[in-house]
Amino acid sequence: MARDTYTYTNKIKELITKESSQFQLTTTELYYKIIQNNEGELTQSGAINARTGKYTGRSPKDKFIVAEPSYKDDIDWGDVNQPIEETTFLNLLDKVLDYLHEKEELYVFKGYAGSDEDSQLKLTVVNEFAWHNLFAQNMFIRPSSKKEAESIKSGFTIVSAPSFKADPAVDGTNSETFVIISFKHKIVLIGGTEYAGEMKKGIFSVMNYLLPKSDIMSMHCSVNVGQKGDVALFFGLSGTGKTTLSADPSRNLIGDDEHGWNDNGIFNIEGGCYAKAINLSYKKEPQIYNAIKYGTVLENVVVDNDGTIDFDDNYYTENTRAAYPIHYIDNIVSPSKAAHPNTIIFLTADAFGVLPPISKLSGEQAMYHFLSGFTAKLAGTERGVTEPEPSFSTCFGAPFLPLNAKVYANLLGELIDKHDVDVYLVNTGWTGGKYGTGRRINLTYTRQMVNQAITGKLKDAEFIQDETFGLSIPKEVADVPTTILNPINAWSDQDAYKAQANDLIQRFNDNFENFGEDVADIAEKGGFKK
């Protein structure tokens, strides 16, 4: 007999309503539970620090989507979106729910994903760990009261059981860890990993399915807004400066990571920030540093015996994190919404040193670079990486996209045209040579170029077309040396520049072939010109 969604809805309801289940606890109540359960340690800043064991980041090879008939044809199956049969998923879900039922206490939170009510997803989060529940409260949007939380009828439920280990031979997983999304049963099932970020990214993947189905763009980007209401979007992979450049004291933050774009404008999907904490300092990132206080959840940082945090120590991982409510940042917009954007910035850290520090993109070029999602890995950052390596992440968020990449690219292209948005490609990487021989583009210059772009001051600037890439480069940017604007001029050996540039162009071309013939026109009109 087929098992329907109601069976599991009722089983989850039983868990939530158990007398021992702790519903919508306050931050202080969760602090007591965390300390009592020995789940984390109190730091001198007031933040809680938890260690996540052997999993200090996402487990992409352990992420699955249930191949249910009603949704099967929508999903872009492959290495990112691995299928798992519905029966296999339900058998594992049964085990996890039974396991949680035997726990002395569970922690339940109800809230929202999406700050725009027209596009909001109502959430229930069921946690084995109290600190995970505090993480969820920090990252998702909190209801205004416990009474409001009680009235929420959940559209999706996260069931998180970190201590439950799967048996791959029996449970159909690849390891003891699993992150499984079922669109039919409206569940994100997580087990075998204590890394709390799986909850955040699980719901982001869900929103990346649901929103485009309603012709709403979902985006892995940060957003800020100026005093005149000018809205800027920042797309970029890790290490490109997305967080640094969007955290501008002269502008107000909408959000740092996940957003939607509907008929009303831009809205934050989250209610908090999940910032990298390695080498965090007041001098470099004062807003994030000041957010490390009571209520913040730290992951895997090193804490001295007296409670002092050593942000520079990577003993547990380079991927140390801080999860805090967005209102811990001073200059935010509340609720986290804004009008349609004026400017989009694609950030890339080009370690080959050949892309211009800033260039203006046509509509076709914008779609090409959005689909490419390029940056470069640096030598020494990963084992075996001795030279800069190109890294392409489709739509700047490939690990979280259930649908075909072209769905997101087409949506973005339509919105850019409809709202007459200016799009710029900004290289925050190297100039005058590749990593090791050239130099990093001065952050002060990058900030100035970005500022000129997002305030509209570059709109009427004079541009020249770069002969190598076919990109439009401004002839002048206030307070930026003209010698760096056209990268060939920054290289002492122009033949070496051209050879390196042609090598990168070929890598772009090779990557774009993965998208097939139906985007050949984008490559033709928006790709690099050799």
Q: How far apart are CA 64 and CA 68, in angstroms?
A: 12
- Contact assessment for residue 299 and residue 196, using Cβ atoms and an 8 Å cutoff: yes
How confident is the model over 154-185, as pLDDT tens digits?
999 999 999 999 999 999 999 999 999 999 99
How confident is the model over 250-265, as pLDDT tens digits?
899 999 999 999 999 9
* Residue matched to tokens 């930026």: 480
Which neighbouring-strand residues pair with 223? 233, 255
9-13, 171-175, 382-386: lowest mean pLDDT where? 382-386
Q: What is the pTM of this model?
A: 0.94
The pLDDT confidence band at residue 432, using thresholds 50, 70 and 90, is very high
How confident is the model over 17-42, as pLDDT tens digits?
999 999 999 999 999 999 999 999 99
Domain 342-526 has CATH 3.90.228.20: yes
Active-site residue list: 58, 201, 220, 238, 242-243, 257, 321
The pLDDT confidence band at residue 205, using thresholds 50, 70 and 90, is very high
The pLDDT confidence band at residue 210, using thresholds 50, 70 and 90, is very high
- Please name the fold of domain 5-52+60-213: Phosphoenolpyruvate Carboxykinase; domain 1 (3.40.449)
Cis-peptide, bond into residue 335, ω within 30° of zero: yes
Domain boundaries, the chain: 5-52+60-213, 342-526
How confident is the model over 404-417, as pLDDT tens digits?
999 999 999 999 99
Q: How far apart are CA 518 and CA 371, in angstroms?
A: 13
In 18-162, alpha helices (H): 27-36, 69-72, 86-101, 130-139, 146-151
How confident is the model over 118-135, as pLDDT tens digits?
999 999 999 999 999 999
Instruction: Tell whether the torsion through CA atoms of 51, 54, 60 and 64 is positive or negative.
Output: negative
